[in-house]
Amino acid sequence: MINKVVSNAIEAVRDIPANATLMLGGFGLCGIPENSIQAILDKGITGLTCISNNAGVDDFGIGLLLKTKQVKKMVSSYVGENAEFERQLLSGELEVDLIPQGTLAERIRAGGAGIPAFYTPAGYGTEVAEGKEVREFNGKMHLLEHWLRADFSIVKAWKGDTAGNLIFKGTARNFNPMMASAGQITIAEVEELVPAGTLDPNTIHTPGIYVQRIFKGVDYEKRIEQRTISPTKS
């Protein structure tokens, strides 16, 4: 069995070139590949097209890459937590493709499944429909949407083995599994790395066939994107 382990994040992202298209897993700040993002930041890779549900926050996640202007284009659904993203968008410094969340998820899933296009009613009658083919099914109008694929998919899992099999924990099982299947090369960082054969096959979310590189991450911050607390009672 092929051992897919690399030593660290720097080794994992070693050959990502300028102007590459990346998929970055996570939902908000949950399940994001923190170590890999930091390695991309440190390497100074520029001109990136990033496909991600969101754009992080100003000082964390993809927001770090936006701050240094390493991102050329964002393909996302929810971007409301990042002031630098907003500034770059309004000033014309950043290309942005905003996609309904369900459509984004399905376009990524389609990319992994080898389905080049599909129809969905989401976005019909809005700006999302501009320039897209429209067809009626069962009395309802649908838009033609195309798959999304990436040069590199970078995901974060709770546990993985040396063959690249992955288990995601709780809400971190969001965009990560579908992105893992839609990249030409998939990089997985995990909190716990175990020998091949250790994981129960019935619990594996992403089979190792989709993963080319895996490493054990370090120093995960576990941030809360929006923390709301009750006022202190006197």
The residue with greater pLDDT, 144 or 170, is: 144
How high is the pLDDT of residue 99? 95
Q: Is residue 222 part of a domain?
A: no
Q: Is residue 140 part of a domain?
A: no
Q: Is residue 128 part of a domain?
A: no
CATH of the domain at 20: 3.40.1080.10
How high is the pLDDT of residue 234? 61
Q: Is residue 209 part of a domain?
A: yes
State the pLDDT confidence band at 225, using cuts at 50, 70 and 90: low
Q: Is residue 133 part of a domain?
A: no
pLDDT tens by residue, 162-179: 999 999 999 889 999 999
Q: Is residue 134 part of a domain?
A: no
Q: Is residue 190 part of a domain?
A: yes
Q: Is residue 139 part of a domain?
A: no
Q: What distances in angstroms separate CA 234 from CA 63, 231, one per listed residue?
A: 38, 9
Quote the number of domains for the chain: 1
Mean per-residue pLDDT of the chain: 94
Cα 74-75-81 angle, rounded to 5 deg: 65
Pairing between β-strand 150-161 and β-strand 183-194 as defined by DSSP bridges:
parallel
Stated pTM of the model: 0.92
CA–CA dist 79, 82 (Å, integer): 6
Residues of the domain holding 179 = 9-116+149-216
